[in-house]
Structure 1
């Protein structure tokens, strides 16, 4: 598969996965957490489809498109460990997580996702949904949307 085809497949999986996750949190109070702002595409999509829910964002640095800059109070800039701890200390309750952090090195990305999983679990609402580009640990796996290949994205529910 060409890199272009792979990127298109990843972006479609993100879109379909986010919309799938949003459809499953209707009865769950809580905010949305976008882990990995990047250039802001998924954050922008969440803003358009989240039905007014607060969207918190974590990334190491703010470098997104100017039209996708989150409000200052919703952007947590720094390492994910510290930002997740900060959210927990604030009593944040998250209904949906979109996890898209990474260094671009598969083994390192998988290890970081596993390491961050307990911190993510601390802020999740019972029944909350996780849509992730990396495997997470300690959550109940779910079959995702039919449009997303099983090896492309991971889908979970937090038993709580």
Structure 2
């Protein structure tokens, strides 16, 4: 598979997963988190499909497209673990989290996701969903929407 085809498959899976999750959390109270802003495409989509929810963003640096800059009060700049702790200490609970952190080295990305899983667990609402490109630990894996190739995106429910 070409890199272009792989990218298109990943982005389609991401969009379809987010749309599915937005409907699936309709009865779960809480905010939304985009963990890893990047250039802001996912954040922009979340603003559109979950406009009624507060959307938190965590990233090391703010370097997204100018049209995708989150409000200052919703952007937590820094390493993920202390920023997740800050959300937890503030009493915030998440109905949906999109985990999109990575270094681009699979072994390193998997290790980081496992390391951050307990901190993410601390802010998830009971019944909340996590959509992730990396395997997480301590959550119940659930089937996402039909048509997403196995392993392309993972879907988890918080206990």
The TM-score bracket by the shorter chain reads over 0.9
Tell me which stretches of 4 or more aligned residues in structure 1 moved more than 6 Å.
none
Q: What is residue 132 of structure 1 aligned with on the other side?
A: 132
CA offset at residue 51 of structure 1?
Answer: 3.6
Q: SS of the residue aligned with 1:144?
A: coil
Q: Unaligned regions of 5+ residues in structure 2, if any?
A: none
Q: Output one character per residue of 1:82-107: Cα deviation in whole Å (capped at 9) or x when no partner.
A: 11111111111100000000000000
Q: Which runs of 5+ in 1 are unaligned?
A: none
Q: Displacement, 1:52?
A: 1.2
d(CA) in 2 for partners of 1:58 and 1:150? Answer: 27
SS of the aligned residue for 1:92 comes to coil
Matched, 1:119 2:119: yes
TM-score computed with the length of structure 2 as normaliser = 0.98
Taking the aligned partners of 1:9 and 1:81, their CA distance within structure 2 comes to 29
Backbone CA RMSD of aligned residues: 0.6
**2 CA distance for matches of 1:104 and 1:97?**
20
* 1:13 equivalenced with 2:45 (yes/no): no
Residue of structure 1 in register with 2:64 after alignment: 64
Q: Which residue of 2 aligns with 1:41?
A: 41
State whether structure 2 residue 76 is matched by structure 1 residue 79.
no
Residue 147 of structure 1, CA deviation: 2.1
How many residues align? The count is: 159
